[in-house]
Chains A and B, each alone.
Chain A
């Protein structure tokens, strides 16, 4: 594996990885993250998320009960399978992601973001594993789920697993907070307080993910699934999920 472009650019060890993390977790990365609310729009329209307190409850529950066992765990597994150069397990994990996400819009959102992320980084990283994965996505024997691709690329960039997980969770939290500021709506400063307040939680969830048993992958959050499914039928929608 090597970096295809900017070969002349030399980083110090930690600095290089830090920049890679900042880049891949940047909310402005053009993967379409802000088109998706992951069910939040339903919660706001139904009056369940309506102020700072209920926004914090939503984000906390998403991180601790959903991301921990689903997308966050998928990032760590994809990262591990990539480090082990195990393309079969990586593809099986991607197929499992598909099987685990029952709301249609959640699946579509994740595949859209994942395939765009793949497209961005395939230009920068020279790796047969990455090419093989992209080939399988093209051939439709894999889908390209966002957390799987995120784990794959962060491993190839030699970003340590826990930084990969934490940056993924941070990116997801920024998206939730930004959407809440727009939808609820909340003040900009409220949003920043919420975000800063999640830092410890993100660290704890990351630590938990590193010790999870495989049988905990994909735990169902029935109400999150239901509200995400109900989003398909909302009368007016600003978001795709």
Chain B
């Protein structure tokens, strides 16, 4: 049945193509616009005056408490109307006890509009709080905070602190990983393939990790109306397509130089990892900022260990580059590692769940793009096949190494 349909469809498209062989621009434009006109007519019919089509069912109001900040003697709550109808914020409570509060700019929220609810409250550090918001029909929405921690105010000291964390987590481990370059250079072709496959495994893990973190951030802090899973999927695929297209163009451009291709691949990898580390930095900064975790040296060690493997991923494609690559390596190490600092700043001082999800998804798309590039290269090198012991064991080892080091995080 579907075959017949698709055949018919093909025929139709063919005839259309034939018809369109000599179209006037105006006709093309008109034929393209006709469906839009009907969509508009449909909208007018549904939403227009006198239409009672939408009177069925009960639209339920919904607000989402996106952020809770603990500041000096006040709890600041960012509330967004994530339902399909306008709402009015009428009451705030802390731990289910009614508190007076101020709503800025005002208590009326249109769809997707946000307001800041300031609740004067002498909160205690490290204690859990449940913040409630009641709207005009008496429905109460709640957000639970595991441990109250003062909101981080940007100060030189804190900026430095986050920069140091970012350096420990991003730059230093990546740079250490890059030091494997001389070692990889001395390897035979097969062993080299193993290390490239290992890179694929590492990246595969990182990509899945990014998506998992993005999904986690979206389920925890984004309203269901943002369709968190689909948002992550869309941004990941868009980022993948964008980078895939531009990297192909880049590789085509540098084809004349025989050693440029590995450099391009390494650059792609470092950009992908850079985006991932930006997301990681956001997560670390936000976690400290939101008081969700106490930052322990153990966590830093875990991240550092974990990210050392990222340096290896960048170093591997550069192994066949005979010229001195120290400058390039340092630059790529910075591209891959430094965004962790930026992420930590952003996450710590102005965390927004929406941007966290977006950046993590862009990172995931970038990483998958790099995987495709390396896989393609490996396949070409290996006579159009992946079925070599070095590749299979390399990918497996990459995944395992990442999993084992991730346990420390």
To the question of whether A and B form a pair in one complex, the answer is no
Residues of B within 8 A of A (CB): none
Residues of A within 8 A of B (CB): none
